[in-house]
Structure 1
């Protein structure tokens, strides 16, 4: 750094921010600009209790110093780029769009060069304009073109991105979800994103709900019309009312669209603890519900719950070959065909309403569907398979099947009385599939695939038409999961939220539970629960519903991962399958 950078100020910033912003000695940290302590109750800034105001360009800085100082200026707290833009030429300032994406790095090398300055980075993650994770890269060298302007070096060309350390990003941004609709507009689909904390949080969430012409409407859709924008900020009143002002033609929004826009806003904005209600205006017109209420409370839109409106909270299991249901310590027999008779099923999956159950035959070749607690008959909906995994149901009562097929997995879907239809899932189909999940909203398929290098967890998006027909699946991406112990086997996976799953691995006498995001992004999800268990775990029983109990079923015991101190008696000896709905 230049001698003009004061050693005193370097020491002060390092002392104040070092513990919060630096994870390794190789990561460049802010070294200039005032660090201001603020009122912790009044501030929701990235680094609790501190703001960081970076220093603007100093006279006589060299090209490498300009680049280093520019990188530092992007670490302002709260997040902003006004000082960073001062390191650019006038033309570059007009062209630079740091809001178009975010690049984070684990380690940053020293800048090298003169008119072309290069900067190596290691441990790279990339996020799009909404804050949705896109990809990881091991290493990259980025370049900056510099030019003389008014006698000083300035950056003339650079990547359109906010480029910051991983540690800074983890402090300055918060993991949340944007709530969009599925293509049929019958259920909400949460999309994980990272948004800046503090006063920018609410406006960033609203921006994420605007129409995105690059988004695939076969996965999700928003009801905010194309071309609509929003006011620069979303104020939150002292009473906790978020005032959202959209800019557009109110006449283009019908009653149905208005209700769904409000539903998206409510589900998305209520993740901010300060918000108690939402008030929406389009143009100069306030928008409300059918009862003309313009202040919309947070309980609106429960019918579009991504975990399934009116979904059953019961557990469903097989005891001595018959279906049972109820809480973990009070499973009771059911009165439907699969509860009264032993029809030879080995695993089951229950519909979200808990009124029907699908059972895989003992030889793994066929599937029966029957009502749970009313008279009826068991109907065979699939046959001719080789080794079926437990079935999964989504909100539209589609039944998803995975046939392991001697190491060449086949994914299929059963809709009503139609025969199973094979769905190609690139990256999963044809491989050794050990476990499969489908989200209740029908938008995601998660699979555990065994490879020569160990078990891998992959995620694919499921594409639908506006009428709900399953069209195809996207190429599966590998999720951010590496077992702590080499050679450990994934015993089971289960939903912990609509956007997160837990993974159970076993090594000799120890089971480990790790929770990961279904979008592939790294980082702590903040989901609490036991992470290590003595003894082997045979099955994980979990649900995406917030607050649901999570059980690890062993050979001789069962544990509640969310309440490890809770005493649980032994499960029935003849229990062979246990699951929540879905």
Structure 2
């Protein structure tokens, strides 16, 4: 949007930019609009400070068709809450029918504008059609859910000139909004909503397990109220089959509520309609817990939430500390230890916090026994451990108690080589253990309930290729798979569904696989590094290996990538984002990346680092 017009035409303001911090309003826009009717492409606005607010300018009197087109596209990327200024570029009928909230199409760059010429002899002087074109990178649907997208985009926009006023306006246009990637990143932010896993509880008290559901909100358009409404409206369609919301059907914010914000004591009051008036205290506190987990995305200092009924009465309130007692939330579970294999391929551990590089042997058969290990995984409660034998053939599970025996393997593989045998195992919060057998003659994914007994073979009906690595989310309803298909190793996210019939073994399926890193074709290592974020080592086509963060929905999170590190084959991370990344590098051994620092050597003669999970 900062490009000059061809021919060096003078620039004129098309949008006002306001700095929220000081209230200053600048009349210099982020782009120019032609004074005549010729067109130029609408480039994406460069990334700006988050305090910068951009307001659209309405069409000037007797604006040419090209000015209408470019002014409208500029208005789509403004901070106008209801797109009122953008609607001024439309006819009255089109303004009523247009639904910008239905979708957002994200292009690699701003949309190009091409005039669609009519057949010679049939031109209508009061009618013009333009085509918006570009290369798609993603879409946001009516549920505010992001999905990667590829291929060309083309959308027709028709303009007509009112015969009475002589003013050009748009009367036909594509559904939703369209903008370049950098404008999207400036205008939208990714936020996690939280629901509870449908069939999963943990602990003696049966805590429900919180599950993140990422959505995109307009950053500066009352985001807290937007987020509360989105949470109450329910989960996105991809996650809905495996989660539940404690908000009763029909619940909504009280009519007229907007501008939700915590008070000076970091307490937020949420007025609801009459639907939840008859709920019990337990359900109300779970509703408040959903709100607390969700809103802390936007306001990390939020200390309590109060729900009010339609008459203003208090339904319940909940503090941040109490919310963590109500539900199990992976991001708040700080691991006690970092685990790894020492030079003798035995399980050892060191404190997860601090900068200690001294590892001690883990009690139990995996730390004290004679078996060499290739990879390990420790349960979320840090009471049990699973290890794959040095040749990759056998998976053993044992308690981390001194004197415990190794027992028989839970899973065995007959793969012809070490790389064709068992993957690194992975635990969910319920205590179920996941591992894949990479045997090319019969590749399979297994789940062992509570890490014991006969494992269940997991159905993955949409899988095309062979699973090379497995990382189940703490919530147990989402799973990350590295899949090799024709030499391309992709990162896919699947939804875990359990069909538990009385008296029978559960049927487990991983459904609706979707790409979390669509531009990477050689993913070699992955770990969960947040409720909806993963850290990945991989390379693009023809590129070098890099380490970066990705979101489960395939979007790119804001913020820098981890510092570069060569020779990485294993990554350890935690849903608790305060925990430093740890990696195994062929060049440096076990290394750690503290917040705001560079990689630091921890153990030279060690391998297979792992946090619980």
What is the TM-score of this pair, normalised by structure 1?
0.83
2:324 counterpart residue number = 302
2:198 pairs with 1:183 = yes
2:96 pairs with 1:83 = no
Once the two structures are superposed, the pairs formed by residues 283-432 of structure 1 within 5 Å of their partners are 283-287=310-314, 289=316, 294=317, 296-303=318-325, 304-307=327-330, 312-319=335-342, 320-327=344-351, 329-379=357-407, 380-384=409-413, 386=415, 387-406=421-440, 409-416=443-450, 417-426=452-461, 428=463, 431-432=465-466
SS at 2:193's partner residue?
A: strand
Deviations along 1:263-301, one digit per CA (max 9) or x if unpaired, are 111011112236443222132244454xxxx4x333332
Instruction: Tell me the CA shift for residue 58 of structure 1.
Output: 3.7
Distance (Å, rounded) in 2 between the aligned partners of 1:552 and 1:398: 25
Instruction: Tell me the CA shift for residue 65 of structure 1.
Output: 4.2
**Per the alignment, do residues 17 and 365 of structure 1 end up closer, same or farther by CA in structure 2, a change over 3 Å counting?**
farther
1:57 counterpart residue number = 59
2:69 counterpart residue number = 67
SS at 2:214's partner residue?
A: strand
Gaps of 5+ in 1: 31-44
The answer to whether the 8 Å contact 1:322/1:340 transfers is yes
SS at 1:66's partner residue?
A: helix
SS at 1:395's partner residue?
A: coil
The answer to whether the 8 Å contact 1:311/1:353 transfers is no
Select the residue among 542, 547, 551 that pairs with 1:513.
547
1:112 counterpart residue number = 115
Distance (Å, rounded) in 2 between the aligned partners of 1:513 and 1:391: 22
The answer to whether the 8 Å contact 1:218/1:465 transfers is no
SS at 2:565's partner residue?
A: strand
Once the two structures are superposed, the pairs formed by residues 460-475 of structure 1 within 5 Å of their partners are 460-464=494-498, 471-475=508-512
Select the residue among 217, 238, 249 that pairs with 1:195.
217
The answer to whether the 8 Å contact 1:218/1:464 transfers is no
2:581 counterpart residue number = 550
Instruction: Tell me the CA shift for residue 200 of structure 1.
Output: 1.0
Distance (Å, rounded) in 1 between the aligned partners of 2:112 and 2:561: 36
1:477 counterpart residue number = 514
Select the residue among 220, 225, 231 that pairs with 1:209.
231
For these two proteins, the number of residue pairs brought into alignment is 544
Deviations along 1:140-176, one digit per CA (max 9) or x if unpaired, are 1112345566644433343331333322221122222
Once the two structures are superposed, the pairs formed by residues 186-265 of structure 1 within 5 Å of their partners are 186-198=208-220, 200-212=222-234, 215=237, 216-231=239-254, 232-236=257-261, 237-265=263-291
Distance (Å, rounded) in 1 between the aligned partners of 2:53 and 2:399: 60
Select the residue among 143, 160, 184 that pairs with 1:169.
184
The answer to whether the 8 Å contact 2:16/2:57 transfers is no
Instruction: Tell me the CA shift for residue 505 of structure 1.
Output: 4.5
Distance (Å, rounded) in 1 between the aligned partners of 2:470 and 2:481: 4
The answer to whether the 8 Å contact 1:189/1:441 transfers is yes
Instruction: Tell me the CA shift for residue 506 of structure 1.
Output: 8.5
What is the RMSD of the two structures over their aligned residues, measured on CA atoms?
3.5
SS at 1:552's partner residue?
A: strand
The answer to whether the 8 Å contact 1:234/1:244 transfers is no
1:278 counterpart residue number = 305
Instruction: Tell me the CA shift for residue 397 of structure 1.
Output: 0.7
Instruction: Tell me the CA shift for residue 518 of structure 1.
Output: 1.8
**Per the alignment, do residues 195 and 551 of structure 1 end up closer, same or farther by CA in structure 2, a change over 3 Å counting?**
same
**Per the alignment, do residues 53 and 570 of structure 1 end up closer, same or farther by CA in structure 2, a change over 3 Å counting?**
closer
Q: Which moved more, 1:242-251 or 1:301-310?
A: 301-310
Q: Which moved more, 1:489-498 or 1:391-400?
A: 489-498
Instruction: Tell me the CA shift for residue 52 of structure 1.
Output: 3.1
Runs of 4+ in 1 over 6 A off after TM superposition: 11-15
SS at 1:259's partner residue?
A: helix
The answer to whether the 8 Å contact 1:73/1:81 transfers is yes
Deviations along 1:230-251, one digit per CA (max 9) or x if unpaired, are 2441432344333322223233
What is the TM-score of this pair, normalised by structure 2?
0.79
Distance (Å, rounded) in 2 between the aligned partners of 1:558 and 1:318: 10
Distance (Å, rounded) in 2 between the aligned partners of 1:561 and 1:567: 6
Select the residue among 136, 142, 164 that pairs with 1:129.
142
Distance (Å, rounded) in 2 between the aligned partners of 1:146 and 1:6: 25
Select the residue among 4, 9, 15 that pairs with 2:13.
9
Distance (Å, rounded) in 2 between the aligned partners of 1:438 and 1:187: 14
Distance (Å, rounded) in 1 between the aligned partners of 2:234 and 2:496: 19
Instruction: Tell me the CA shift for residue 259 of structure 1.
Output: 1.3
2:437 pairs with 1:434 = no
Deviations along 1:21-74, one digit per CA (max 9) or x if unpaired, are xxxx943469xxxxxxxxxxxxxx985454433222344445554333322222
SS at 1:91's partner residue?
A: helix
Instruction: Tell me the CA shift for residue 128 of structure 1.
Output: 2.0
Instruction: Tell me the CA shift for residue 112 of structure 1.
Output: 2.2
The answer to whether the 8 Å contact 1:559/1:568 transfers is yes
Instruction: Tell me the CA shift for residue 115 of structure 1.
Output: 5.1
Select the residue among 87, 95, 100 that pairs with 1:98.
100
